[in-house]
């Protein structure tokens, strides 16, 4: 978010095409990504599971992408691979054409609930990633405060996570990632543990925050309406093996308000996605393999 870094990243030399005109690489690129897990052996047989097979995906700068799919389709694994938390067994993850590195300016992760350090205050948690980079407290104070204000936590800076509601904790979670000023924001079902009303409020607030500087967002969710409401593009995944079934562009114009969710077009789109993944969801719900 500091202007310097933004210019630096924009000035990275872009690979030239044969015709000689430089082409900017996509912000986030997955090339033939393969994630294979080794499961604990059953009766002496070693089992491997293809969590994700051969995923290609390109996300343009400033796009908000939501990934949906039945449980076990590897959407969270995909996110963990982009975050550098899971080593791909094949293919590669590139941000601005370079391999990812955790803790760099490349990306920051917003986790599901309760990944905040319970011994740090709101302010301390938001500063966590900057402390890891050994940045001086005074130097980052303004940035930290701005991120706290951005997620509407002004006045709660000195509270500890156990004193906060679920919604507030997720705001801290978001602010902690924003403070890193990442190129790509990775969000792993950040609102899944919240009650329905709080979730709606948080979705709206997230869009407002996003609207300001249009970071590239990779958002994993199992809530179809959440995906359609937030995203520029919904990536629908299927399970066994985890793969991309379809990529759908969301046509609704921005800024969006919650009333969009009640329009027939919105409901039709949710319905269309549901039909795509219905079989997979039923299999998963019937106790099929994860």
Cα separation of 256 and 288, whole Å? 37
Q: Does 84 bind other proteins (CB under 8 A)?
A: yes
CA atoms in the 13 A half-sphere facing the CB of 60: 6
Shortest reach from residue 20's CB to other proteins, in Å: 37
Look at phi and psi of residue 180 and say left if phi exceeds 0, alpha if psi is from -120 to 50, else beta.
alpha
The phi and psi torsions of 99 (rounded to 5 degrees) equal -60, 150
Q: Does 128 bind other proteins (CB under 8 A)?
A: yes
Q: At what angle do helices 137-150 and 166-178 cross, to 10 degrees?
A: 130
DSSP string, 196-265: HHHHHHHHHHHHHHHHHH--EEEEE-S-HHHHHHH-SEEEEEETTTTEEEEEEE----SS--GGGGGSHH
Among 6, 61, 160, 245, binds other proteins (CB under 8 A): 160
Q: State which residue, 115 or 145, has the beta carbon closest to other proteins.
A: 115
Nearest CA-CA partner of 119 in 174, 168, 163: 163
Among 157, 205, 233, 272, binds other proteins (CB under 8 A): 205
Q: Does 156 bind other proteins (CB under 8 A)?
A: yes
Q: Does 95 bind other proteins (CB under 8 A)?
A: no
Q: What's the start-to-end Cα distance of the chain, in Å?
A: 38
Cα separation of 31 and 288, whole Å? 28
Among 35, 59, 73, 83, binds other proteins (CB under 8 A): 83
Q: Does 131 bind other proteins (CB under 8 A)?
A: yes
Total site size for other proteins, rule CB under 8 A: 42
x/- site string to other proteins, residues 225 to 264, per CB under 8 A?
Answer: ---------------------------------x------
Shortest reach from residue 33's CB to other proteins, in Å: 18
Q: What are the tokens at 74?
A: 């590897």
Among 118, 251, 264, 287, binds other proteins (CB under 8 A): 118
Shortest reach from residue 47's CB to other proteins, in Å: 23
Q: What are the tokens at 140?
A: 């980052």
Residues that bind other proteins (CB under 8 A): 83-85, 101-104, 108-109, 111-112, 114-119, 128-129, 131-133, 152, 155-156, 160-162, 164-165, 167-168, 176, 180, 197-198, 200-201, 204-205, 208, 258
């Amino acid at each position: 978010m500091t202007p310097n870094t933004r210019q630096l990243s924009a000035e990275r030399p872009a690979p030239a095409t044969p015709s000689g005109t430089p082409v900017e690489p996509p912000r986030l690129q997955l090339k033939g990504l393969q994630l294979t897990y080794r499961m604990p052996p059953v009766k002496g047989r070693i089992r491997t599971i293809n969590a994700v097979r051969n995923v290609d995906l390109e996300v343009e700068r400033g796009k908000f992408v939501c990934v949906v799919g039945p449980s076990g389709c590897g959407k969270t694994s995909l996110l963990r691979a982009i975050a550098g938390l899971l080593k791909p067994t094949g293919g590669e993850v590139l941000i601005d054409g370079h391999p990812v590195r955790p803790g760099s300016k490349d990306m920051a992760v917003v986790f599901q609930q309760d990944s905040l350090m319970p011994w740090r205050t709101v302010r301390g948690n938001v500063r966590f990633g900057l402390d890891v980079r050994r940045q001086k407290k005074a130097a980052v104070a303004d940035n930290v405060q701005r991120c706290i204000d951005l997620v509407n936590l002004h006045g709660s800076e000195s509270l500890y996570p156990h004193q906060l509601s679920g919604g507030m904790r997720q705001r801290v979670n978001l602010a902690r990632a924003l403070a890193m000023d990442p190129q790509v924001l990775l969000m792993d079902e950040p609102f899944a543990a919240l009650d329905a009303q709080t979730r709606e409020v948080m979705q709206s607030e997230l869009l407002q925050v996003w609207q300001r500087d249009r970071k590239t967002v990779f958002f994993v969710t199992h809530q179809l309406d959440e995906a359609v409401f937030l995203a520029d593009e919904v990536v629908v995944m299927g399970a066994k093996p985890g793969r991309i079934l379809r990529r759908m562009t969301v046509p609704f114009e921005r800024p969006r308000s919650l009333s969009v969710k009640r329009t027939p077009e919105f409901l039709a789109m949710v319905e269309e996605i549901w039909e795509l993944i219905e079989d997979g969801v039923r299999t998963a719900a019937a106790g099929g393999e994860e």
